[in-house]
Amino acid sequence: MTLSPENLKYLPSHEWLYAPQDGSGIATVGISAFAVAELNDLVYMALPKVGQVIESGQEFGEVESVKAVSPMYSPVSGQIVEIHEGIVERLETLNDDPYAGGWLVKIKLSDPSQLDGLLDYAAYQKLLAQSG
């Protein structure tokens, strides 16, 4: 899987989503490099269980740093079909590669039209510039 920030969709809360156009209906979700940098010194992460059904905007886990605990929100509705098992033991992966190597969950989309409501890369960059 070749992921770059430019070909992802985003939530204003800094989660990213990659939905390949392969007809699988399975999206990959993670947190952005900006979120990782803001949190700094990650110490813990909680992820959902495979099979869990979540709604768009619903909290699906949390990430904790030495300075804060932050919820992570699902960009779309669907069912968790895979979690990145090793990431919770290797949180440093998020510092090195928050996209391809640092993905968190894969979700089988229940409503692909929700992708249209997410920010593209340019809109996400504009949001970061306004908040910075």
> Element (H or E) spanning 124, and its range?
helix 121-131
The predicted model gives 74-93 an average pLDDT of 96
Average pLDDT, the chain: 94
Amino acid identity, position 62: E
First vs last C-alpha separation in the chain = 31
Cα–Cα distances (Å) from 117 to 36, 40, 101, in that order, read 23, 29, 25
> Element (H or E) spanning 53, and its range?
strand 53-54
Show me where the domains of the chain are located.
5-131
Separation between Cα atoms, residue 105 and residue 80, nearest integer Å: 7
Structural class in CATH, domain 5-131: mainly beta
Could you report the per-residue pLDDT of 92-102, keeping only the tens digit for each?
A: 999 999 998 99
